[in-house]
Structure 1
Amino acid sequence: MGHRKQRVGAPPGFFACEAAGLDWLRVPGGPPVVEVLDVADDHLDLVRLTEVGPDRAKAEDFGRRLAVLHDAGAPAFGSPPEGWHGDGFFGPLDQPLPMPTGAHDSWGEFLAVRRLEPLRDLLPAEDAHALDPLIARLRSSELDDDDSPARLHGDLWSGNVLWTADGATLIDPAAHGGHRESDLAMLALFGCPHLDAVLAGYQAVHPLRRGWQHRRSLHQVYPVGMHVVLFGGGYRAQLHQLLAAIPT
Structure 2
Amino acid sequence: MDIFRKTDDPRAVAFEAAGLRWLAEAEAGAAVAEIVDESPGVLQTRRVRETAATAAAAEDFGRALARTHAAGAPHHGCPPPGFAGEGFMGRAPLPLRAEPPGSWGEFYATDRVLPYLTAARQNGSIDDDGARTVERCAGRIDDGEFDAPQPGLVTGVAARLHGDLWSGNVLWSPETGGTLIDPAAQGGHAESDLAQLSVFGAPHRERIVAAYHEVSPLAAGWADRVGLHQLHMLIVHAALFGGGYGAQTVSVAAQYA
TM-score (norm 1): 0.93
How far apart are 1:51 and its partner, in Å?
Answer: 0.3
Which residue in the other structure is 1:208 paired with? 218
1:101 aligned onto 2:96? yes
Which residue in the other structure is 1:158 paired with? 167
Which residue in the other structure is 2:124 paired with? none
Candidates 194, 197, 215, aligned match of 1:187 = 197
What secondary structure sits across from 1:89 in the alignment?
Answer: strand
Q: What letter corresponds to residue 170 of structure 1 in structure 2?
A: L
Which residue in the other structure is 1:149 paired with? 158
Candidates 131, 140, 150, aligned match of 2:134 = 131
| Aligned 8 A contact 1:77 1:105 in 2 | no
What secondary structure sits across from 1:145 in the alignment?
Answer: coil
Candidates 105, 110, 113, aligned match of 1:113 = 110
| Aligned 8 A contact 1:37 1:46 in 2 | yes
| Aligned 8 A contact 2:36 2:45 in 1 | yes
| Aligned 8 A contact 1:76 1:105 in 2 | no
Return the alpha-carbon distance in structure 2 between the equivalents of residues 81 and 177 of structure 1: 8
Return the alpha-carbon distance in structure 1 between the equivalents of residues 169 and 77 of structure 2: 21
Return the alpha-carbon distance in structure 2 between the equivalents of residues 168 and 105 of structure 1: 34
Report 1:37-56 matches (<5 A). Answer: 37-56=36-55
Q: What letter corresponds to residue 134 of structure 1 in structure 2?
A: C
What secondary structure sits across from 1:45 in the alignment?
Answer: strand
Which residue in the other structure is 1:24 paired with? 22
Return the alpha-carbon distance in structure 2 between the equivalents of residues 49 and 235 of structure 1: 30
Return the alpha-carbon distance in structure 2 between the equivalents of residues 90 and 224 of structure 1: 12
| Aligned 8 A contact 2:120 2:242 in 1 | no
Runs of 4+ in 1 over 4 A off after TM superposition: none
Over aligned residue pairs, what C-alpha RMSD do you find? 1.4
Return the alpha-carbon distance in structure 1 between the equivalents of residues 209 and 149 of structure 2: 21
Return the alpha-carbon distance in structure 2 between the equivalents of residues 122 and 234 of structure 1: 14
Report 1:165-244 matches (<5 A). Answer: 165=174, 166-244=176-254
What secondary structure sits across from 1:131 in the alignment?
Answer: helix
Mark the runs of 5 or more structure 1 residues left unpaired by the alignment. none
In terms of mean alpha carbon deviation, does 171-180 or 221-230 score higher? 221-230
Return the alpha-carbon distance in structure 1 between the equivalents of residues 149 and 48 of structure 2: 38
In terms of mean alpha carbon deviation, does 115-124 or 70-79 score higher? 115-124
Q: What letter corresponds to residue 47 of structure 1 in structure 2?
A: R
| Aligned 8 A contact 2:27 2:71 in 1 | no
What secondary structure sits across from 2:197 in the alignment?
Answer: helix
Return the alpha-carbon distance in structure 2 between the equivalents of residues 183 and 146 of structure 1: 15
**What's the CA shift string for 1:200-239, capped at 9, x where partnerless?**
1101111111111111111111111111111111212211
Return the alpha-carbon distance in structure 1 between the equivalents of residues 182 and 102 of structure 2: 26
Return the alpha-carbon distance in structure 1 between the equivalents of residues 119 and 18 of structure 2: 27
| Aligned 8 A contact 1:116 1:135 in 2 | yes
1:85 aligned onto 2:81? no
How far apart are 1:105 and its partner, in Å?
Answer: 4.2
**What's the CA shift string for 1:137-185, capped at 9, x where partnerless?**
1222222124321100000000000000211000000000011110011
Q: What letter corresponds to residue 117 of structure 1 in structure 2?
A: L
What secondary structure sits across from 2:234 in the alignment?
Answer: helix
TM-score (norm 2): 0.89
CA 1:87–1:120 in structure 2 vs 1: closer, same or farther (change >3 Å)? Answer: same
Return the alpha-carbon distance in structure 2 between the equivalents of residues 187 and 68 of structure 1: 17
What secondary structure sits across from 1:154 in the alignment?
Answer: coil
What secondary structure sits across from 2:44 in the alignment?
Answer: strand
